[in-house]
Amino acid sequence: MKKPHFFCEHCGAEVRKDARVCPRCGRFFSSVKCPKCGHAGMPDDFSFGCPVCGYAIAANAPPEPIKPQPSPLPAPPLPWWAFLAVGLTLMGLLLVLLRSLG
């Protein structure tokens, strides 16, 4: 017999089925997410495992904690040519301004 286990997708702590807040990290839950296929839904939909792929853990097996999701990487810096284009545009505007004053 398999039974579902519920884990916080942020810190990986096991939580009760009806938990709305993770006891370890304090994050709020709005739905349950399957660790295998990613399907999200209400906790009652997962009473017998994932309704899409059937993922569940055997009742006598220790639960496999979900590894916390890494935070998204910061946006990469702009390419060199973007800085060059902005610099040339500003230089052009400065030249136009100087010609109009003199």
Q: What per-residue confidence (pLDDT) applies to 93? A: 95
Task: Report helix, strand and coil shares of the chain as percent, to nearest 5.
Answer: 25, 15, 60
Residues 71-90 have pLDDT tens digits of 666 777 888 899 999 999 99
* Range with the largest mean pLDDT of 6-10, 20-24, 49-53, 83-87: 83-87
In this model, does residue 68 exceed pLDDT 70? no
For residue 33, list its beta bridge partners: 40
Q: Which domain holds residue 64?
A: 1-68
pLDDT per residue as tens digits for the range 9-21: 778 788 887 788 8
* Those residues with Cβ within 8 angstroms of residue 55's Cβ, 6 or more apart along the chain or in another chain: 34, 35, 36, 37, 49
Number of structural domains found in the chain? 1
Is the residue at 30 inside a domain? yes
Mean pLDDT of 53-57: 77
Give the start-end residues of each E strand in the chain: 2-3, 6-7, 14-15, 32-33, 40-41, 57-58
Answer whether residue 24 is part of any domain.
yes
Local structure of 6: helix, strand or coil: strand
